[in-house]
A and B are shown apart, each in its own frame.
Chain A
């Protein structure tokens, strides 16, 4: 089993009234709320936290991409990954680049190849479609999301594996000369992970024998995690192979303190801010037309609620792992033994959680939780790219 830490890099000083006033921290929250004099210190802080996780013994650290919101200040995650490449020893995961949102996916091929060279083959290349809101923010047509994702993926993987120059002729991307320099260190290409909040179409695609990509379920209630992990296993069997733990990953926020009571009390205001201030999107932002099939959108809309999410409710649903070291490790062990994932990604900072509590959380996870799990769960074999 491998242990990772992810940072979203939220704009923590966000005026609490602002997100309420604009109904969300996405798309239309005016960037006049961004204090230009705060940005530098925030990046220094967040990079320090990622470096600390690596130094404390995490197997890898993860960054990700979001656009035009206070939820995550990493529109270009490769910039942060580049700053980390020479400072961390473990795996470096970009989870991920949103392929459909770019008009030239070769820039992603190039960015990942540079990063893989800079960290000498430690890169994990994440591919995502982006959140529905980002189709508003980038002007990409959401009805083309799936088709652009698949085509951009094919272009990027071919650019790493097929000798150049060659012509790539797609519907959305057409390049007369595909011939990127540099190429990545990892052969035939960097380890690929596919993070998702749950999509049977995505699992079917990721589990195909020619891909066998690691599927990462993000921020989901336990029954949803269970369902999609099981779906991947079934899909693998349908394709004539048994899934290995390294093909399954789970990413969720975690918080550890000395006692359950202390952990709850310390996490609550920051976790509630994460769910309700930073991560609240209206259905029109989250599910633009065509982003998912009409049947999926209809189903998801019926489940969306404008009610505030509470920390206690999220703990109950299994979306937030919080408590003493004993509580957290036993919860995680039980979940791992039931579901069998080989990659565990902890979001160790959420919402407004301040630096000191984040650092202590990292320390607890690295010293009190990961060693306990390492002793009891066999290490995942290194993912072998197909």
Chain B
């Protein structure tokens, strides 16, 4: 079914006792994008760019955005299994799975379980690993005013974000997303101590995209994913923080498009 959410058309799927909202536009190879902890606020220009070449599917994770928070929602593994069911239920195959931050962590958890439906994997600023000695900011202790400066390299993006007043609806959505983020990422903080053991199972071409000034998940994590995933390549965006699709959208879309098209034939 479809519904109109502002100027964004969303669809829903009822699966495993949970209604999940997703957006879908474009045609071509399937690109399934898994969002970060802040959720997806709408169809963005960089998504439109990708939809010129791909069939882009952007769900709100269970527990996030407009989707339900199901009773079974306990940990990151539940989200990984859910998306394997989601891919099957939508009849998707040869999927180019792209995950950012929390979504990158989910994508990695999906791929270690099964790559049967995947053509490629892209991990952008992905959480999920812990590297001894690599310090990072604890997002759960950050005051709201300190979050945007932690996300970006260029202060002007943070200032623009801070200048936007929040509606009551946005505050409710932040609380909902914050709850679900904590549900999966509070302890251990933003990683799965069992993930690194199984990353070698990922047997599809993998692209690791990262900002060189990422303070939330520092670029050492890109090198660690590359070390642990056999077919991984890394692309680092200069003067870029945790959200390349916002801070370096041209480079992000170009890197993604080049990688996916190279591996779609």
* Cα–Cα distance between A28 and B187 once the two chains are bound (Å): 17
Contact indicator B143/A282 (Cβ below 8 Å): yes
Q: Is A222 on the interface with B (CB-CB < 8 A)?
A: no
In which size bucket is the chain B interface?
A: 10 to 19
> A140-B187, A141-B186, A289-B182 known; A294 and B141 CB under 8 Å?
no
CA distance A282 to B144 in the complex (A): 11
In the bound assembly, the distance between CA atoms of A135 and B175 in angstroms comes to: 17
User: Which A119-149 residues have C-beta < 8 A from chain B?
Assistant: 135-136, 139-143
With the chains together, A288 CA to B181 CA distance in Å? Answer: 11
Contact residue among B141, B171, B179 (Cβ-Cβ distance under 8 Å from A289): B179
Give the contacts of B181-205 with A (CB-CB under 8 A): 181-183, 186-188
| B92 interface residue (CB < 8 Å to A) | no
Closest approach, in angstroms, between the C-beta of B135 and any C-beta of chain A? 13
> Counting CB contacts under 8 A, is A211 at the interface?
no
In the assembled complex, A283 has its CB within 8 A of some CB on chain B? yes
Are B183 and A28 in touch, CB under 8 angstroms?
Answer: no
**Interface majority SS (helix, strand, loop, mixed), chain B:** helix
Residues of B within 8 A of A139 (CB): 186-188
Closest Cβ of chain B: how far from A251's Cβ, in Å? 29
Give the contact-size bracket for chain A: 10 to 19
**A136 contacts B172, C-beta separation under 8 Å:** no
Q: Name the one of B171, B175, B182 contacting A141, with C-beta atoms under 8 angstroms.
A: B182
Nearest CB in chain B to that of A283: its residue: B143
Compute how far the CA of A140 lies from the CA of B188 in the bound complex, rounded to whole angstroms.
9
Question: Which residues of A lie under 8 Å from residue B181 when comparing CB positions?
Answer: 289
Chain B residue with the shortest CB-CB distance to A27:
B141
Q: Is the CB of A141 within 8 A of B187?
A: yes
Contacts of B25 in A (CB 8 A): none
Distance (whole angstroms) from the CB of B44 to the closest CB of chain A: 25
**Residue interface mask B28-50, A partner, CB < 8 A = 1:** 00000000000000000000000
Contact residues of B between 127 and 162, Cβ < 8 Å to A: 140-143
Contact A142 B182 (CB under 8 A): yes
Beta-carbon nearest neighbor of B175 in chain A: A294
* Cα distance, A290 to B73, chains bound together (Å): 13
Contacts of A142 in B (CB 8 A): 182, 186
Which residues of B does A touch, CB under 8 Å?
140-143, 171-172, 175-176, 178-179, 181-183, 186-188
A interface residues, Cβ below 8 angstroms from B: 27-28, 135-136, 139-143, 282-285, 288-290, 294, 297-298
With A135-B186, A289-B175 known, 14 other A-B pairs at CB within 8 A are A139-B187, A142-B182, A142-B186, A143-B179, A143-B183, A143-B186, A284-B140, A285-B141, A288-B186, A289-B186, A290-B182, A290-B183, A294-B172, A298-B172
10 shortest A-B CB distances, which residue pairs?
A289-B182, A294-B175, A289-B178, A139-B187, A141-B186, A289-B179, A143-B183, A290-B179, A284-B141, A143-B182
